[in-house]
Amino acid sequence: MRFDLLTIFPGYFASPLAEALVGKAIDDGLLDVRVVDLRPFSDDPHRKVDDEAFGGGPGMVLTAPPLFAAIEALRAEEGAPAPHVLYLSPRGRRLDAAFARELAAFPRLVLVCGRYEGVDERAREGGLFDGEVSLGDFVLPGGEVAALALLEAVSRFVPGVVGEAESVRLDSFEDGLLDHPHYTRPREFRGLPVPDVLLSGNHARIRRWRRERQFEETALHRPDLLSRFAPHTDEDRQLLARVARPARTP
């Protein structure tokens, strides 16, 4: 899968793209990630890509000409898959696991990293973007952090990027619930033991315990997820009924 990261700060990505799963996937040829500097697409002698907003007000705005030039050049690249162009923006669709899985089906994503007060609205009016994506209801100085988050979330669904495919299937949100707790060595640390069931060797009991804990953790930390959860087994229906039951008052 290919990603093109369009930015005015190309150096921002140097370390993250060389580390961990993404770095290994790039080395292995599973991901093709290209950082594209917006500035060379400017026709300004000083490669300027921003300007003051008409009507006044604080902050600068990324101008339309270099954005159009850069994205049109990426779309016209011969021999490359047609790109799906996404602008990282507060007005975009909220990124979640289901959306990340949808995006993983595209052979190529162009991620446009905004800065300052955003982009000239004519980039939207002119149909430059195929969609917009938001990480949540907060503001970042630019879209680079969001682009990295999206890249990592999407790349987990690219076959081979995560060594154990089962790990992705069992992640939080994959079936609508949070993940269960995990423990490793030592068996006891500062008076805190590993639950006996995990040391029992009884795989049926372990599976049941983990499923129960998924419901409990979700009810405690993300009850909103339970309101959308659709159980498919009798066991899940029983667990959902149990955690959704209001506590008795003394």
Q: Is 117 a catalytic residue?
A: yes
Per annotation, catalytic residue among 50, 115, 120, 156: 156
Residue 127 in tokens: 């149909």
Q: Is 171 a catalytic residue?
A: yes
Per annotation, catalytic residue among 10, 16, 65, 90: 90
Q: Is 175 a catalytic residue?
A: no
Per annotation, catalytic residue among 32, 37, 51, 117: 117
Task: Report, as residue numbers or ranges, the catalytic residues.
Answer: 90, 117, 156, 171
